[in-house]
């Protein structure tokens, strides 16, 4: 078909209805205009084999595995962690009984920031947003009766990732398992902690040293573990666009890769274990296109820039969570619908693993009923709707392909801008990433207040509502109980063993040798997370945030 | 109407969710107030000390980690101890209704929940602030 004929016919069509001519243009999440209609003329430049290819083949735009969901459905992985190690163990058993296929551990803030439960900064925070882990003993309780060789466990931990990995390896040993059979994921993405998430401890340089140390240790000992879960998710929650989400996350990943290469690692030894967490938001088609474009950019970059030979290095395998920030405290049941649409987008995009938010998240910790509804949302999609019957079902839609091409270009433009600044670390130290995200968060809020961006139940279709009483509250005793457990353990353990393990750690940290072996030794001596991080704080110093306001 | 309202904004405790507080800071600035944001991981002691030093009219705190009952009453108590009750104390975040009641009794003037607009917050501050 002659493309110019299509364009001509389209122009004629656009005049055919006065309403069409009057329309004010719609815009994508990142600000480009959206056409009222897409035609083959919008994708005429597309080279199918070069730009899309087949699932499981370079550049993986249509999916990372040849058979995708026909071979194996995505992993259903809800995020949880409660009050105490014991309660968390009970919740995990419940989720597995209900058909969940992977675990995802939420840690409390003291754990994420490397303070023990009895540290003054921990007061009031123990067990609040996840489970507290002070020592190996807590991890033993969390995973009691859960055979690690039958599970994959994702751990949302960043600055203290090496310590949590050491604990996981140690409980594996106690179950008689070699590290090589363990499967799971560490978040371990410290750069986004500086920009949006806030659980940083050390400055960038030693933080990245810990990351590459984990790359190296795992490539030799725990080859099935995802050593890092680079996150676009949190930046998107903080307000950035779909383009910024991918571009900033990829820029952070480049910093980790370059550090790994500098440490002398072979790209194909660690790149296959880089995994991702992204945010699936409200705009269904844009979200699907985002992942298709991202897979292509990643594959091309790994092959062409970093010289990866192993196709697995080029595969963008990702976990996604629906957007918590899109949920409302008003008319909370509406969130069930939002979560379902976002989950649908994630499935249409070929996600490897999905966490669907709970509808009561804007109010409190989720109830058992709301968690079950999220689980069922995924199961209904998988087993009732037929959306998994064919691979990349949106592929070939003129709109979808045009959006994918546009996102591909926009993401690369922004990545180039970050590169020009000297890369992710410099862009963060200059406050560029933070300011970009903050500005957009403010713009969105203004649009919502002006009614330009609709939030159903909040600035449109609002109703008078009684205040929702909260059903789940954290146990007020949890903090004291945890502190007592820690004290009891400290009295029981061999202080000599702890002291010598911590001294060895300090010495190793002061040099440039591998840290994982000494951390494992410290963990197995039941040194606490706070003690281990304390030694590292002493040697590495602490990060001082960049002021952007 | 001469003096501009001065606001100290901070995140008490270990919570890192700062989208809300940063948006509120920008909104209050646009509403004509002077805003000093001291960032994450602020102790109640540091917050009150900074508020006194900067001679602010308002302290605006954000907390989403569930640790509000720990940090907010402590800030109110320190303000009383320092005889600085003229400083208006407000907070925002996810705080259950019954906690909001008890926090108001303990000296937090208002707690803004999800869905509150920047306009509402600025309006509340203007109405309730006592300019020294």
- Please indicate if any CB of chain A lies within 8 Å of the CB of B46: no
Nearest to A232 by CA among A223, A241, A220, A224: A241
A472 touches chain B (CB under 8 A): no
CA of B28: which chain A residue's CA is closest? A442
Q: Which residue matches tokens 């061999």?
A: A494
Quick one: pLDDT at residue A33?
A: 94
Does a structural domain hold residue B94? Answer: yes
- Does A77 sit behind a cis peptide bond, omega within 30 degrees of 0 on the bond before it? no
Give the span between the Cα atoms of B93 and B24, in whole angstroms: 12
User: Is residue A474 less than 8 Å (CB to CB) from chain B?
Assistant: yes
**Mean local confidence (pLDDT), A503-514:** 97
Q: What is the C-alpha to C-alpha distance for residues A175 and A153, in angstroms, rounded to an integer? A: 15
Q: Which of B124, B131, B127 is nearest to B27 (CA)?
A: B124
pLDDT at site A471: 66
d(CA A301, CA A265): 18
With beta carbons under 8 A apart, name residues in chain A contacting B96. 363-364, 469-470, 473
Contact status, residue A400 vs residue A392, Cβ threshold 8 Å: no
List chain B residues with CB under 8 Å of A193: 16
Give the DSSP letter string of A342-394.
Answer: HHHHHHHTT-SEEEPPPTTTTTSSPPHHHHHHHHHHHHHHHHTS-TTSSSSTT
Alpha-carbon span A230 to A248, nearest angstrom = 10
Q: CB B43 to CB A199 under 8 A?
A: no
- Determine contact: B50 vs chain A, CB below 8 A: no
φ/ψ of A203, rounded to 5, equals: -65, 165
Residue range A206-245, pLDDT digits in tens: 999 999 999 999 999 999 999 999 999 999 999 999 999 9
Instruction: Provide the pLDDT for residue A100.
Output: 79
pLDDT for residue A186: 97
Is B32 a member of any domain?
A: yes
In this prediction, residue A94 has a pLDDT band, given cuts at 50, 70 and 90, of confident
CB within 8 Å: A441 and B118: no
Write out chain A residues lying below 8 Å of B39, CB-based. 545, 547
Helix segments in B1-117, DSSP class H: 19-30, 44-53, 68-81, 97-105
The Cα angle at residue A327 between residues A326 and A328, in degrees rounded to 5: 120
Closest-CA residue to A315 (of A335, A297, A327, A299) = A299
> Beta strand pairing status for A75-76 and A353-355?
parallel
Are the beta carbons of A252 and A244 closer than 8 angstroms? Answer: no
Measure CA A278 to chain center: 5
* pLDDT (tens digit per residue) in A359-397: 998 888 888 899 899 999 999 999 999 999 999 999 999
Residue carrying structure tokens 């998994």:
A388
* Residue A407 counted as domain residue: yes
- Strands of the sheet containing B110-112, edge to edge, are B34-37, B6-10, B58-63, B88-93, B110-112
* Mean pLDDT, range A271-300, rounded to an integer: 98
In a domain, B123, yes or no: yes
CATH number of the CATH domain containing A115: 3.20.20.240
What CA–CA distance (Å, rounded) separates A160 from A134? 12
B96 and A110 in contact by Cβ < 8 A? Answer: no
ipTM of the complex: 0.95
Average pLDDT over residues A301-306: 98
Range of the domain at A91: 71-450
Q: Nearest CA of chain B to the CA of A69: how many Å? A: 35
Q: Out of A122, A129, A449, name the one closest to residue B118 (CB).
A: A449
Query: How far, in Å, CA of A143 to CA of A92, rounded?
Result: 9
Point out the residue among A193, A196, A474 whose CB comes nearest to the CB of B66: A474
CA distance B107 to B59: 12
Average pLDDT for A113-139: 96
Size of interface A-B (CB pairs under 8 A): 104
Distance CA A119, CA A233 (A): 30
Mean pLDDT of A59-86: 91
Please, what is the average pLDDT of chain B? 95
> What CATH number should be reported for the domain holding residue B75?
3.40.50.280
- Pick from A113, A363, A441: CB nearest B94: A363
Q: Tell me, what's the pLDDT at A363?
A: 86
pLDDT recorded at residue A1: 64
Contact between residue A275 and residue A226 where contact means Cβ atoms under 8 Å apart: yes
Total domains present in chain B: 1
Q: How many folded domains does chain A comprise? A: 1
DSSP conformation class of A31 = S
Q: Do B14 and A122 touch (CB under 8 A)?
A: yes
For B15, name the nearest residue in chain A, comparing CA atoms only.
Answer: A109
Q: Do A239 and B96 touch (CB under 8 A)?
A: no
In total, chain B counts a number of residues equal to 132
| Res. B2 pLDDT band, cuts 50 70 90 | low
Return d(Cα A120, Cα A114) in angstroms, integer.
12
pLDDT tens figures, A484-504? 999 999 999 999 999 999 999
Q: Mention every residue, 6+ apart, whose C-beta is less than 8 A from residue A80.
A: A88, A91, A92, A95, A104, A105, A106, A371
**Segment A249-276 mean pLDDT:** 97
Whole-angstrom distance, CA of residue B74 vs CA of residue B92: 16
For residue B67, give the nearest of A128, A237, A330 by CB distance: A128
Domain, as residue range, for B88: 6-127
| Distance from C-alpha of A337 to C-alpha of A351, rounded to nearest angstrom | 19
**Mean pLDDT over residues B71-79, rounded?**
97
Predicted confidence band of residue B130 (pLDDT cuts 50, 70, 90): confident
Position B132 confidence tier, pLDDT thresholds 50, 70, 90: low
Chain B hits for A473, CB-CB cut-off 8 Å, are 96
Q: Which residue has the tokens 């309006």?
A: B123
Question: Nearest by CB to B14, which of A125, A196, A365?
Answer: A125
Mean per-residue pLDDT, A1-13: 89
């Amino acid at each position: 078909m002659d493309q110019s004929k299509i364009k001509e016919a389209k122009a004629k069509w656009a005049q055919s209805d006065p309403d069409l001519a009057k329309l004010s243009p719609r815009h994508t999440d990142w600000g480009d205009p959206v056409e009222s209609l897409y035609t083959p003329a919008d994708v005429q430049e597309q080279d199918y084999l070069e730009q899309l290819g087949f699932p499981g083949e370079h550049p993986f735009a249509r999916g990372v595995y040849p058979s995708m969901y026909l071979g194996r459905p995505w992993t259903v992985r809800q995020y949880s962690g409660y009050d105490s190690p014991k309660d968390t163990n009970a919740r995990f058993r419940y989720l597995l009984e209900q058909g969940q296929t992977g675990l995802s551990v939420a840690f409390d803030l003291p754990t994420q920031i490397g303070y023990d439960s009895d540290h003054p900064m921990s007061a009031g925070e123990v067990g609040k947003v996840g489970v507290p882990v002070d020592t190996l003993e807590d991890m033993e309780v969390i995973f009691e009766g859960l055979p690690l060789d039958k599970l994959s466990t994702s751990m949302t931990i960043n600055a203290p990732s090496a310590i949590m990995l050491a604990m996981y390896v140690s409980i594996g040993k106690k179950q008689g398992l070699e590290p090589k059979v363990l499967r799971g994921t560490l978040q371990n993405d410290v750069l986004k902690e500086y920009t949006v998430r806030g659980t940083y401890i050390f400055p960038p340089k030693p933080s990245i040293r810990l990351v590459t140390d984990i790359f190296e240790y795992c490539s030799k000992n725990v080859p099935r573990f995802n050593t890092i879960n680079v996150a676009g998710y949190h930046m998107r929650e903080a307000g950035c666009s779909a383009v910024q989400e991918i571009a900033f996350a990829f820029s952070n990943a480049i910093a980790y890769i370059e550090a790994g290469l500098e440490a002398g690692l072979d790209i194909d030894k660690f790149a296959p274990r880089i995994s991702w967490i992204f945010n699936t938001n409200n705009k269904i088609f844009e979200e699907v296109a985002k992942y298709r474009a991202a897979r292509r950019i990643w594959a091309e970059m790994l092959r062409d820039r970093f010289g990866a030979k192993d196709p697995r290095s080029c595969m963008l395998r990702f976990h996604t969570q629906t957007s918590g920030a899109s949920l409302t405290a008003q008319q909370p049941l509406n969130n069930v619908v939002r979560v379902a649409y976002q989950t649908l987008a994630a499935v249409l995009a070929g996600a490897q693993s999905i966490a669907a938010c709970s509808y009561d998240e804007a109010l409190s910790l989720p109830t058992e009923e709301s968690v079950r509804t999220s689980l069922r949302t995924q199961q209904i999609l998988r087993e009732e709707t037929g959306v998994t019957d064919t691979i990349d079902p949106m592929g070939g839609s003129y709109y979808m392909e045009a959006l994918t091409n546009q996102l591909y270009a926009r993401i690369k433009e922004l990545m180039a801008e970050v590169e020009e600044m000297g890369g992710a670390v410099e862009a963060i130290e200059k406050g560029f990433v933070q300011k970009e995200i903050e500005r957009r968060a403010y713009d969105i809020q203004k649009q919502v207040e002006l009614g330009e961006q609709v939030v159903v139940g909040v600035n449109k279709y609002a109703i008078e509502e009684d205040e929702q009483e909260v059903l789940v509250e954290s146990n007020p005793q949890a903090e004291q109980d945890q502190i007592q457990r820690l004290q009891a353990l400290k009295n029981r353990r061999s202080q000599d063993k702890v002291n010598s393990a911590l001294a060895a750690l300090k010495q190793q940290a002061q040099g440039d040798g591998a840290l994982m072996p000494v951390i494992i030794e410290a963990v197995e001596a039941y040194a606490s997370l706070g003690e281990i991080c304390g030694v590292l704080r002493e040697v590495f110093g602490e990060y001082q945030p960049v002021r952007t306001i | 109407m001469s003096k501009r309202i001065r606001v100290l904004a901070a995140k008490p405790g270990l919570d890192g969710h700062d989208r809300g507080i940063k948006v509120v800071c920008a909104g209050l600035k646009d509403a004509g107030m002077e805003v000093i944001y001291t960032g994450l991981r602020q102790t109640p002691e540091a917050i009150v000390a900074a508020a006194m030093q900067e001679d602010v009219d308002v302290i605006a705190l954000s907390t989403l980690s569930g640790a509000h009952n720990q940090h907010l009453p402590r800030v109110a108590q320190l303000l009383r101890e320092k005889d600085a009750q003229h400083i208006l104390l407000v907070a925002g975040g996810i705080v259950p209704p019954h906690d909001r009641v008890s926090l108001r009794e303990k000296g937090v003037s208002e707690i803004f929940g999800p869905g509150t607009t920047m306009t509402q917050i600025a309006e509340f501050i203007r109405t309730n602030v006592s300019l020294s």
